[in-house]
Amino acid sequence: MNSSFNKFLIFKKWIIIFLVCLFLTCFLYIPSVNALSDAKQFVLDAWSLVNEGYYDPERFDDIQWKRIRQKTLQKQIETTEEAYSAIEDMLKPLEDPFTRVLKPKDYELLKSSNFGSEINGVGIQLGEDEITKKIKVISTLAGSPAEDAGIIRGDFIDKVDGIPSSQLGLANTASKLRGESGTKVLVQLSNAAEEVKEIDLERRSVDLRPVRTKRFRNDSHTIGYLRITQFSESVPKKVEEALKELKEKEVEGIILDLRNNSGGLVSSGIAVAESFLSEKPIVETKDRNGIKDAITSNKDTFFDGPMVTLVNKGTASASEILAGSLQDNYRSILMGEQTYGKGLIQSLKSLGENSGIAITVASYLTPKGNNIQGKGITPDKILDLPEAAEYGSTQDKWVRNAEILLDSQLDVNNEVKRDLNGDFLTEMSKEIIN
């Protein structure tokens, strides 16, 4: 009896040892396989970066974000291209076109546009239409192939080299438009009237020239014109230099032109706001941890005289932060059209294989607490006028209206023209002629 019982105990012991070994083998085997799969690790790294930084973690619950990771890693992912495709599919449920994976070429071009002064492509800045979800032109860069071909703001990009933009998505559509100087790309466009056309564009190096100045003189006053086309790293310093130059030319007021400025580095937009605001709130940001304290400008400014700021539907992102801060602090009258309405902030993270990922990490509010995402900023004075082919030219009626307003401001006494409570400025904005 004892002998049989002892044999049973020994048998039971070996069964337990076998099951434990089997469990440990399976447990250790799975991670080792994943560790050997560089492509799957690449996907997991992208998931982790988004999981740690995305501004709206409640969205993860809605789309079952952890389950998406699990299902994605169960796929056959052996190559880098399969990894990119898996990441794109993984991000789609977020329904955020600004959170996207960037292949090496796109990653390098985006960094170049933020930090450099030239980019190779056709010179189109793209966005996603809030209603139709179509890829549309926010603006064209001055002197670019797109501008030369007559492409205008509001046109829709239907196809690039025969591939529908709806299939490509925002990031890949932009990617296919870029390329080496001298190469060509076939673009199919349509407009609001559903007129369709195809244009063969030759890519070339586009000089971004982010900061441009002019001086306007009439019988009574001297007015400076400052145009900012985008917010790259070098822009704040260039703006300071431009303002210094304009002050040396004894300008009395400034027209700040942010038309078709689709943004760039948020930090640069904030830094430019500091050139005009003294100890005033610039912007509030809201990340996954809630609303942070407002970013406030320093005491010193580079220009404290009268200003008028021009905006249009192509004014977006960092340029809306600047425009909103100037308007809410009664520092400048805004004239033009409703702005684009991009109130989300992205952070650029590096991935392996020289690629990157853009992640929406925060939304922002203007100093008065306005969330402009999908809505934009309403100017103090709407201008229902055709825009000039060349901004800042003598044919630019928008600039002419801004000049009239500044002339009126400069004609009043110093005490009133520096009144920042907004009452006088708001009333005067109603006096502008069309």
- For residue 111, the tally of other CB atoms under 10 A from its CB is 15
- 146 CA to centre of own chain: 20
**Backbone φ, ψ for residue 112 (5° rounding):** -65, -40
**Backbone φ, ψ for residue 90 (5° rounding):** -65, -35
**CA–CA distance, 100 with 92 (Å, rounded to integer):** 9
Q: How far is CA 369 from CA 91, 182, 293, 294, 339, in A?
A: 29, 47, 12, 10, 17
**Backbone φ, ψ for residue 162 (5° rounding):** 85, -5
Pairing mode of beta strands 333-336, 307-311: parallel
Helix ranges (DSSP H) in 335-418: 397-411, 414-417
Q: How far is CA 131 from CA 134, 174, 274, 348, in A?
A: 8, 20, 35, 27
**CA–CA distance, 143 with 130 (Å, rounded to integer):** 28
> For residues 41 and 35, is the Cβ–Cβ distance under 8 A?
yes
Closest by Cα among 190, 118, 184 to 152 = 190
**CA–CA distance, 122 with 148 (Å, rounded to integer):** 10
Question: What are the structure tokens assigned to 43, written together?
Answer: 């996907």
> For residues 185 and 176, is the Cβ–Cβ distance under 8 A?
yes
**CA–CA distance, 46 with 420 (Å, rounded to integer):** 47
**Partners of residue 223 on adjacent β-strands:** 216, 253
Residues with a known catalytic role? 317, 328, 342
**CA–CA distance, 275 with 237 (Å, rounded to integer):** 10
